[in-house]
Amino acid sequence: MKKILICGIGNALVDSEYKVSEKGIKELNLTKGCMELNDRENHIKLSSRLKKTHGTVKMMPGGSVANSLYTLSQFGADVSFIGRVSDDTTGEAFINSLKSIGVGVNIHQVDNGITGECLVLITPDHERTMYTHLGVSSQLNVEDINQDVIKDSEYLLIEGYLVTSDETKKVASYSLDIATKHGVKKIITLSDPNVVKFFRDNILELLDKSFDIIFCNKQEALNISMSNNIDDAIDFLKKYAHEIIITCGEDGACVAIGGEKLNEIPDSVKPVDLTGAGDMFLAAYIFAKVRGKSVIDRIKFANTCSGDVIQTYGAKLEKQDYVKLLKKLK
């Protein structure tokens, strides 16, 4: 029996959240609701400016995979994270935060560069736009990968963000090959519409390795399939995975398993901040799945959990909130 439920590999980032106006997004020439990469010099300038003019709403360890593992650990699952940070204060805070809630840490800490940071810009409609400097996380390489951790896991989870650099794409490919060799189930989250749009070939290269589960939102599904509707997107994606989960905002989630499609509409929830909704959905869905719940119950639980996280600032809840959510998993 595997010791670890999920081993996750992704960018180790610290999320710094700011409330901004629609005008502010336009002035930065950003695509609203998406993630864009920033170089170190511009990132430091913008971060400094935002702190002076807006004040940080919240600062916490982040990154797509790390967010999902955080939730799974709070639910009581054994999980482990593989990534890279600097030996700066931010890197230490990232490691300590994961350790404090029981996430297994396999993080290479280097003595040069800076730990990655994501500036999460929240507009009045509660949408989040991300401006990211990957820092040393973009230098994650195959030597940083602990093969034994992957072998001892039931699932390997990787994020689409890994395809944005040649080095981290190699890491994803290498890790997937290890998982395949040792019978570890494979999950990918496509991560972001812009990542899929601008790095589509790289994503497809990974998808060719075949996955057990693909998570994405509607726009990511349309971008990867180059289609205009969900049905065509599912037809495209079913070549690469047995189980496909597409989140569709207020329209709920669409799940296709072995060609069978199911829709479930969530309760109406007023969002405060959409940060981490997809990461929370993934974690809750997987947790319900390994608990033997039906597809309908998985979606309901995932919708409930993501509905809770969008009612607060940041991608994480308080410890007592996770306890309350678990009681709703019937």
What pLDDT, on the 0 to 100 scale, is given for residue 29?
84
Angle between helices 218-225 and 200-207 (to 10 degrees): 90
Asked whether residue 81 is assigned to any structural domain, the reply reads yes
Domain CATH code at residue 213:
3.40.1190.20
Cα–Cα nearest to 25, from 136, 119, 155: 119
For residue 99, give every residue at least 6 positions away whose Cβ sits within 8 Å of its Cβ, in sequence order, or none.
Answer: 105
What pLDDT, on the 0 to 100 scale, is given for residue 309?
53
Residues of the chain with pLDDT below 70 are: 1, 55-58, 263-276, 308-320, 323, 330
Asked whether residue 58 is assigned to any structural domain, the reply reads no
What pLDDT, on the 0 to 100 scale, is given for residue 217?
92
What pLDDT, on the 0 to 100 scale, is given for residue 323?
67
Asked whether residue 124 is assigned to any structural domain, the reply reads no
Spatial separation of the C-alpha atoms in residues 112 and 259, rounded to whole Å: 48
Q: What is the CA radius of gyration of the chain?
A: 18
CB of 311 within 8 A of CB of 270?
yes
Asked whether residue 44 is assigned to any structural domain, the reply reads no
Asked whether residue 98 is assigned to any structural domain, the reply reads yes
Asked whether residue 184 is assigned to any structural domain, the reply reads yes
CB of 49 within 8 A of CB of 152?
no
3-state class of 325 per DSSP? helix
Asked whether residue 30 is assigned to any structural domain, the reply reads no
What pLDDT, on the 0 to 100 scale, is given for residue 193?
92
What pLDDT, on the 0 to 100 scale, is given for residue 320?
64
* Secondary structure percentages of the chain, helix, strand, coil, to 5: 45, 25, 30
Locate 61 and state its tokens: 């360890």
3-state class of 315 per DSSP? coil
**pTM attached to this predicted model:** 0.88
For residue 52, give every residue at least 6 positions away whose Cβ sits within 8 Å of its Cβ, in sequence order, or none.
Answer: none
Cα–Cα nearest to 186, from 174, 202, 197: 174
**What count of other Cβ atoms lies within 10 Å of the Cβ of residue 243?**
19
**What count of other Cβ atoms lies within 10 Å of the Cβ of residue 285?**
26
Bridge partners of 227, per DSSP, are none
Count of domains observed in the chain:
1
Asked whether residue 232 is assigned to any structural domain, the reply reads yes
Angle at 99 between CA 95 and CA 102, to 5 degrees: 150
What pLDDT, on the 0 to 100 scale, is given for residue 314?
45
Range of the domain at 107: 4-10+65-112+136-326
What pLDDT, on the 0 to 100 scale, is given for residue 120?
85
